[in-house]
Structure 1
Amino acid sequence: MRAFLTVGSTKFDALVQTALSRAVLDSLNRKGYTELVIQCGGSDFELASSISQDEVFSVLRNGIDITLWRFKPSLNDEYERADIVISHAGSGTILDVLRLGKPLIVVPNPTLLHNHQEELAEALSTLGHLQSSSVSDLARAIETFDSTALVSFPLFDGSRFSRILDEEMGFK
């Protein structure tokens, strides 16, 4: 099984470093994952110097085949190939993954201004669409994650915005 971790276009050193920790790798292993793909962006972590902008780096740790790279034009293929996605709590990433119906654990980046990721993660976790975790609790979150308990995210309705706008403007 394949886990995909993404930090998006930002730096999230703590998340990438924690994903490479024995505790997280052991949790993934116990849950049956044999592969971990990490999109590490501009993060600085123990293996960062091994990865240039256009390079892929692979290593085997704790029975997990780990592949790391910095950026790709699109992550959709990675989302689709993943059995689980672990991500920063960026709204674009969350929406992309939930619309694909993929199990998702989000880890808000507390270093961001106003910690808006925390609010979004908690709201969607409360609704049952994903599981929210902190960096320090990621190993436990993986161990206790039950994707069968997730509530399906509503399908995209492109006409909804225009209906709301029409109602607000008094056209209906």
Structure 2
Amino acid sequence: MRAFVTVGSTRFDALIQEVIKEDILLSLSRSGYDEVSIQCGNSSFEFSSSVADGSVHDIERAEVSVSCWKFKPNLEEEYEEADLVISHAGSGTILDVLRKGKRLIVVPNETLLDNHQHELAIALEEKNHLKSSTIADLAQTINEINTAQLTPFPPHDGKLFAGVLDITMGFI
């Protein structure tokens, strides 16, 4: 099975540093994951200098194959191939992953100015669409996610927004 870790266009050193630690990789391995792909963005971590030029850096730890890279123009293929996504709590990433029906652990970036990532993560966790975690609790959350009975995210319905827009603009 494959896990995909992403920080989007942000820098989230703490998350990237945590997911390459032996205990996190062991949690992933024990949960059946044998491959981890990490989109690290501009984060600073143990191997960041080897991905600085945009190349993929492969490491082998805890019986898990790990590849790390900075950016790609599109993450759709990564989402499709993943059995689990571990992500910062960015709204775009959350919606993309949940609409694909993937298991998702979000880790809000507490270094950001406001609390919007935390608030979004908690709201969606309360609706049972995903699991929210802190850096410190990530190994435990990984252990729990595969047995969790998550509620599928509702499909996109563009008519809802169009209806609100029509009412707001006075067309209806």
The TM-score range, normalised by the shorter chain, is over 0.9
Local SS of the residue matching 1:28: helix
Local SS of the residue matching 2:114: helix
Identity value in percent: 55
- Amino acid in the other structure paired with 1:84: L
Is 2:76 the counterpart of 1:79?
no
CA distance in 1: counterparts of 2:74 and 2:53, whole angstroms: 15
Return the offset for 1:93.
0.3
Taking the TM superposition and a 5 Å limit, the aligned residue runs for 1:101-140 are: 101-140=101-140
Q: Is the 8 A contact 2:31 2:143 kept in 1?
A: yes
Gaps of 5+ in 1: none
Local SS of the residue matching 1:122: helix
CA distance in 2: counterparts of 1:108 and 1:8, whole angstroms: 12
Query: Residue 160 of structure 2 aligns with which residue?
Result: 160
Computed over aligned residues only, the root mean square deviation of the Cα atoms, in angstroms, reads 1.1
Is 2:59 the counterpart of 1:59?
yes
Return the offset for 1:54.
2.1
**Stretches of 4+ aligned residues off by more than 3 angstroms:** 168-171
TM (normalized to structure 2)?
0.96
Taking the TM superposition and a 5 Å limit, the aligned residue runs for 1:44-55 are: 44-55=44-55
Taking the TM superposition and a 5 Å limit, the aligned residue runs for 1:35-46 are: 35-46=35-46
Local SS of the residue matching 1:5: strand
Is 2:36 the counterpart of 1:22?
no
- Amino acid in the other structure paired with 1:37: S
Q: Is the 8 A contact 1:53 1:71 kept in 2?
A: no
Number of paired residues?
172
TM (normalized to structure 1)?
0.96
